[in-house]
Amino acid sequence: MQVKVKEIGAAGLNLDFSYTLEELPVLAKMQGTADLKFVTPVECEIRLSKIAQMVEVCGSARVTVALQCSRCLADLSSELQVEFKQTYVEELPDVIDEAGGEVELSAEEMGLILFDGENIDLSDEIQQQIVLAIPSRPLCEEECKGLCLTCGRNLNMAVCNCNDRNINMHFASLLDFKVDK
Ligand SMILES: [Zn+2]
Ligand SMILES: [Zn+2]
């Protein structure tokens, strides 16, 4: 999605649009490597305003992802919603320090994004925000009991005796130790 800056009027510009995964290579690549799948297009609502030589963009994006619970491996889906605000500039403003000298700062250090003055590409920003919103350890529910490390049973569905047995074996080995001595 390229926004032409000359289409932003004095009252600003509101845009509703969606990206398919093919238009978002960072997310497409993630889907290929991680255990997740984007199941809806990325729906965006964006507002752009021109302020002097700057373009301020604020908006939100949402997408549903299918993930696996990090404890019990159950499938789950999660709606990610992100909000963001960015300022795009054609040229970086001069920054003067207290002594009157010019300070060299990158666009990133100033919290600005450079663009060519004509078109703003919002896909980088939106992809970045969505990547940050993906939970690193998704859970089917806060209290998920996970899988038994011994028998692999899903402890949300059934109980197993592995834990008891482990404790018994532990005592048994202590007894053996005493006998050997
Ligand atoms: Zn779970
Ligand atoms: Zn078990």
Tens-place pLDDT, residues 17-42: 999 999 999 999 999 787 899 999 99
CA dist 146 and 162 (Å) reads 14
Q: What is the 3-state secondary structure (H, E, C) of 43-96?
A: EEEEEEEEECCEEEEEEEEEEEEEEECCCCCCEEEEEEEEEEEEEEECCCCCEE
Q: What residues contact residue 21 under an 8 Å CB cut-off, 6+ apart?
A: 27, 28, 31, 38, 41
Least distant ligand from the CA of 71: 1
The reply to whether 24 and 102 lie within a common domain is: yes
The reply to whether 167 and 136 lie within a common domain is: no
Q: Which residues surround ligand 2, an ion (CB under 5 A)?
A: 148, 150-151, 160, 162
The reply to whether 137 and 149 lie within a common domain is: no
Predicted confidence (pLDDT) at residue 166 exceeds the cutoff of 90: no
**What is the pLDDT, as a whole number, of residue 40?**
96
The reply to whether 172 and 122 lie within a common domain is: no
Rounded to the nearest whole angstrom, what is the distance from the C-alpha of residue 156 to the centroid of ligand 2? 12
Compute CA distances 25 → 31, 40, 122, 135, whole Å: 10, 15, 13, 19
Least distant ligand from the CA of 139: 1
**What is the pLDDT, as a whole number, of residue 32?**
79
Domain count, the chain: 2
The reply to whether 104 and 20 lie within a common domain is: yes
Rounded to the nearest whole angstrom, what is the distance from the C-alpha of residue 135 to the centroid of ligand 1? 14
Rounded to the nearest whole angstrom, what is the distance from the C-alpha of residue 144 to the centroid of ligand 2? 15
Predicted confidence (pLDDT) at residue 148 exceeds the cutoff of 70: yes
The reply to whether 60 and 96 lie within a common domain is: yes
Least distant ligand from the CA of 151: 2
The reply to whether 181 and 121 lie within a common domain is: no
The reply to whether 139 and 159 lie within a common domain is: no
Run of H or E residues at 169: helix 162-180
Rounded to the nearest whole angstrom, what is the distance from the C-alpha of residue 153 to the centroid of ligand 2? 6
Rounded to the nearest whole angstrom, what is the distance from the C-alpha of residue 28 to the centroid of ligand 1? 25
The reply to whether 7 and 79 lie within a common domain is: yes
Rounded to the nearest whole angstrom, what is the distance from the C-alpha of residue 142 to the centroid of ligand 1? 8
Residue 181 is encoded by which pair of tokens? Answer: 């001595």
The reply to whether 44 and 130 lie within a common domain is: yes
What residues make up the domain containing 39?
A: 2-144
Least distant ligand from the CA of 164: 2
The reply to whether 8 and 96 lie within a common domain is: yes
Rounded to the nearest whole angstrom, what is the distance from the C-alpha of residue 81 to the centroid of ligand 1? 22
Rounded to the nearest whole angstrom, what is the distance from the C-alpha of residue 146 to the centroid of ligand 2? 11
Rounded to the nearest whole angstrom, what is the distance from the C-alpha of residue 150 to the centroid of ligand 1? 17
Least confident window among 4-8, 98-102, 115-119:
98-102
Contact predicate 122/1, CB 8 Å = yes
The reply to whether 41 and 106 lie within a common domain is: yes
Least confident window among 50-59, 97-106, 117-126:
97-106
Predicted confidence (pLDDT) at residue 181 exceeds the cutoff of 50: no
pTM of the entire structure?
0.78
